Amino acid sequence: MSSNTEKLYTEFTAEMKKDYTILAPDIFPTHMEFLQKVFELNGFNVEVLHDEDRSVIDTGLKYIHNDMCYPAICVVGQQLHALMSGKYDLHKVALVQFQTGGGCRASNYIMLLRKALENMGMGYIPVLSVNFAGLEKHSGFKITTKMAMQAFYALAYGDMILLLKNQCEPYEVNKGDTRKMVLRWVEKIGRQLAHDKGMTDRELRENFKEIAADFHVIPREDKKLTKVGIVGEIYVKYSSFGNNGLEKFLLSQGCEFMVPGVLGFFQAYIKNIELDYNNYGGSRLKLEISKLLLKKIANWEKYMDEALVPYPEFVAPMPFDKVVELAEPIIDLGVKMGEGWLLPGEVAELIELGYSNVICAQPFGCLPNHIVGKGTIRRIRDLYPKANIFPVDYDAGASKVNQENRIKLMLAIANEEDK
């Protein structure tokens, strides 16, 4: 696959690598801090942006087509907003975006960002694409296999900490215990990553055990809470900025929630190589590599499970293979755009794990969600009569009141089912 957009972008040169700051949007909680460490380890100076107020959205709306999906408005808005803040030397910054190369519009964020920069007269600022599809080439920015693996480790840690945070915080006796523990581990793992540590299977396994043991120590109240699962478009699912503080709201309503891990999104991406091979043919080598990679990550899942087993209060996610199995009766596994078949697979996983009240967080007008989100709910209800699924739309104009009202309805039904 060759690119025909080559001429139209500013290259990030090896020279720039030395003293440029790369500004990254805040996409995943915790995970981004780890990824930042991985980048730094590889000689890049990365800053994760945290500006999250209305002016970020306004900036996004000003430069991005308003009918574009909401995450584009948030992440691009965040970066442009930072550039306009005066905090950075504009000739010493670059921007970075994630790109899957899939068939949904999200693959276009990077181009929209560049267009916006051009409109602002900042076309000289390089924009980097983190992708595995070989979409763009920058002489100063190459993701090596090693770096990719490091990134996967970083995500695995992020998922572990997120999982335990979500399962401790609603039950903690002393308010703030969990947050403190999260900070401690973010710091600890961050330090390891920065020193090229923690990124072997052995170290991961040990770290997982320690993390689980530590979170287990947090004193818990013995109470029964409504269990809520969160699936959806990858940005609004994780970003509290994107979902109007969904997690905070759920906590205030006396819920415990589970959000499937970030790594799953990448596992699905890798799995699709295999599925594509079956449907359309392709490179045998890529197929074998992807199988190996999935096998390796499957080991990490085992370590996570093994670390959690001693503590009955913790619920481990299902192995990825099982999620694939659960998705199959709901949707054709050839559906790969956006979250693709993974989304209904995760809904089924959550229901089976006891989180049968599921919020499907999606940007208003999200194309893949017509298919994999709203489009599958009916089938899922047939298969899992207990399923209590609610799609919730997020958008620059959608009001929090309406979103919360919808969620309250879901909770009212959930609580009635419990009685």
Segment contacting other proteins by CB under 8 A, of 109-117, 151-159, 203-211, 346-354: 109-117
Per CB under 8 A, the list member of 10, 13, 51, 61 interacting with other proteins is: 61
The nearest distance, CB 105 to other proteins, in angstroms, is: 6
Closer to other proteins by Cβ: residue 90 or 413: 413
Tokens of 100: 């899957």
Does 371 engage in binding with other proteins (CB under 8 A)?
yes
Segment contacting other proteins by CB under 8 A, of 20-28, 67-75, 197-205, 286-294: 67-75
Q: Count residues near other proteins (CB under 8 A).
A: 82
Applying the rule CB under 8 A, the residues between 225 and 284 that interact with other proteins are 279-281
Q: Hey, what's the torsion of the CAs at 18, 21, 23, 26, to 10 degrees?
A: 90
Applying the rule CB under 8 A, the residues between 299 and 358 that interact with other proteins are 330-332, 334-338
Does 419 engage in binding with other proteins (CB under 8 A)?
no
Contact between 305 and 316 (Cβ < 8 Å): yes
Per CB under 8 A, the list member of 183, 203, 405, 418 interacting with other proteins is: 405
Name, in order, each residue with C-beta under 8 angstroms of 184's C-beta and a sequence gap of 6 or more.
214
Does 200 engage in binding with other proteins (CB under 8 A)?
no
Does 57 engage in binding with other proteins (CB under 8 A)?
yes
Q: Which residues of 324-345 are buried (b: 16+ CB within 10 A; e: fewer)?
A: bebbeebbebebbbbbbbbbbb
Does 50 engage in binding with other proteins (CB under 8 A)?
no
Residue with tokens 């818990």: 220
Does 123 engage in binding with other proteins (CB under 8 A)?
no
Residue with tokens 């045998």: 284
Closer to other proteins by Cβ: residue 176 or 385: 385
Compute the C-alpha angle 322/324/330, nearest 5°: 115
Cross-sheet strand order for the sheet of 21-24: 45-48, 21-24, 93-98, 127-130
Contact between 26 and 239 (Cβ < 8 Å): yes
Does 385 engage in binding with other proteins (CB under 8 A)?
yes
The nearest distance, CB 33 to other proteins, in angstroms, is: 29
Per CB under 8 A, the list member of 11, 21, 45, 111 interacting with other proteins is: 111
Cross-sheet strand order for the sheet of 255-258: 255-258, 226-232, 357-363, 388-394
